[in-house]
Amino acid sequence: MPESDTKMGGLITDLPQADVNILIVDDDATVRYLLNEFMENMGYVSYKAASGEEALEALKVHRVDVVITDIMMPGMDGLKLTELIRLNYDIEVIVMTGYSGDYSYEEVINKGASDFVFKPVRFEELLLRLRRVLKERFLKEELRKLAISDDLTKLYNARHFYKQLLAEIDRYRRYRHPLSLLLLDIDHFKEYNDSYGHLEGNDVLARMGQVIRSCLRRMDSAYRYGGEEFTVILPETAGTEARNVAMRISSEVAGEAFYPKSVREKVSVTISVGVAEYCSGEEMEAFIRRADMAMFKSKQEGRNRINFLTPDDPSPL
């Protein structure tokens, strides 16, 4: 019977998530093998661990959505493993036990488990419970996205911007990797709304969201800051590189063509952009204010411009 530490399977197709990774944790090699084979046959990506300690090491290496763990194991038991997983990861846990009298459902759930099954495990029952857990996880993720997203532009909202920027500044303070910020404003947007109506203005805002996202890397994040203002957090990015990103976004926006219903010709829009690179010891508010001042300078100079301000540059205000 093969007993490799890691076995990969295909992609799931009948669940809300298209790529679901499972970690099987059991000190019984036969149980590990059978559950792993079953999960792979069902189309999941499946990993295995022989102990709680080995499982925690696996979680450092692999992205996992659900851990299925036995309770009774040498060393760290399944309940302690569940506690540690729920404390440190956003991962669901299904607990298995062959000792129905030793643990109550409430005890296991209170430790952070998403569900609880008895051994010998019926594969059909485990699959039903797994699907329920994944469905609830999917719904929670959708609700979380709604809470931090702007419905019109599909970008993150301003509330999430402040939370994420604080996290990136904290990461800078630990690793000293560069961090930059863009603030973008649509030029003459009030006049656009007044001329063509708010529905046409909303079309511009929605397209802005699409254009900004298309110009970013996976690690970057974009936000609707308010009204016609947008902001972009650029981790691992120095100011000069951030200016290049701003130029790319500005060029793409200028190349977009809009066709308001009230006119027979295309209309273009432009943006003014401010760029700032984070400086050691700077407060978040000062960092944002410097990017805002850079954007204001772009407006002052006639709009459709990009300005990059360092802490030593004089304020345009």
User: Residues 74, 79, 82, CA angle at the centre, nearest 5°?
Assistant: 115
241 is catalytic: no
Q: DSSP secondary-structure letter at 5? A: S
Three-class secondary structure of residue 181 per DSSP:
strand
Q: Domain containing 236: what range?
A: 158-308
Q: Are residues 130 and 202 in the same domain?
A: no
**CA 5 – CA 58 distance, rounded (Å):** 10
Q: Is residue 195 part of a domain?
A: yes
| Count of Cβ atoms closer than 10 Å to residue 6 Cβ | 14
Average pLDDT score over residue span 99-103: 63
Q: Is residue 225 part of a domain?
A: yes
Q: Are residues 217 and 117 in the same domain?
A: no
Q: Is residue 316 part of a domain?
A: no
Cβ-proximal residues to 58 (8 Å cutoff; 6+ apart), any chain: 23, 47, 49, 64
Q: Is residue 46 part of a domain?
A: yes
Catalytic pick among 54, 92, 228, 277: 228
Report pLDDT for 11.
Answer: 33
Q: Are residues 294 and 172 in the same domain?
A: yes
pLDDT, tens digit (0-9, with 9 covering 90-100), for 56-77 = 999 999 999 999 999 999 999 9
174 token code pair: 């630990």
* Backbone phi and psi for residue 24, each to the nearest 5 degrees, phi listed first: -95, 125
Report pLDDT for 98.
Answer: 77
249 token code pair: 């976004």
**CA 249 – CA 247 distance, rounded (Å):** 6
Residue 13 pLDDT more than 90? no
Residue finishing a domain among 113, 147, 181: 147
Q: Which residue has the tokens 């719904």?
A: 139
What pTM, to 2 d.p., does this model score? 0.66
Q: Are residues 256 and 131 in the same domain?
A: no
**CA 35 – CA 32 distance, rounded (Å):** 5
pLDDT, tens digit (0-9, with 9 covering 90-100), for 125-179 = 999 999 999 999 888 888 888 899 999 999 999 999 999 999 999 999 999 999 9
Average pLDDT score over residue span 180-201: 96
Give the number of domains in the chain. Answer: 2
Residue finishing a domain among 95, 127, 147: 147
Report pLDDT for 186.
Answer: 98
Cβ-proximal residues to 289 (8 Å cutoff; 6+ apart), any chain: none
Which domain CATH number covers 265? 3.30.70.270
Banded model confidence at residue 4, pLDDT cuts 50, 70, 90: very low
Which domain CATH number covers 60? 3.40.50.2300
**CA 269 – CA 249 distance, rounded (Å):** 12
pLDDT, tens digit (0-9, with 9 covering 90-100), for 25-46 = 999 999 999 999 999 999 999 9
pLDDT, tens digit (0-9, with 9 covering 90-100), for 185-195 = 999 999 999 99
Residue 16 pLDDT more than 70? no
Q: Are residues 20 and 117 in the same domain?
A: yes
Q: Are residues 200 and 228 in the same domain?
A: yes
Three-class secondary structure of residue 307 per DSSP:
strand
Report pLDDT for 18.
Answer: 42
Q: Are residues 98 and 217 in the same domain?
A: no
Report pLDDT for 9.
Answer: 34
256 token code pair: 């977009």
User: pLDDT higher for 12 or 211?
Assistant: 211
Q: Is residue 1 part of a domain?
A: no
Q: Are residues 248 and 285 in the same domain?
A: yes
Q: Is residue 315 part of a domain?
A: no
53 token code pair: 């300690």
Q: Which residue has the tokens 């999917």?
A: 138
Q: DSSP secondary-structure letter at 156? A: B
Question: How much of the chain, in percent, has pLDDT values that exceed 70?
Answer: 92
Residue finishing a domain among 147, 181, 212: 147
Average pLDDT score over residue span 240-262: 96
Lowest mean pLDDT among 60-64, 263-267, 300-304: 263-267
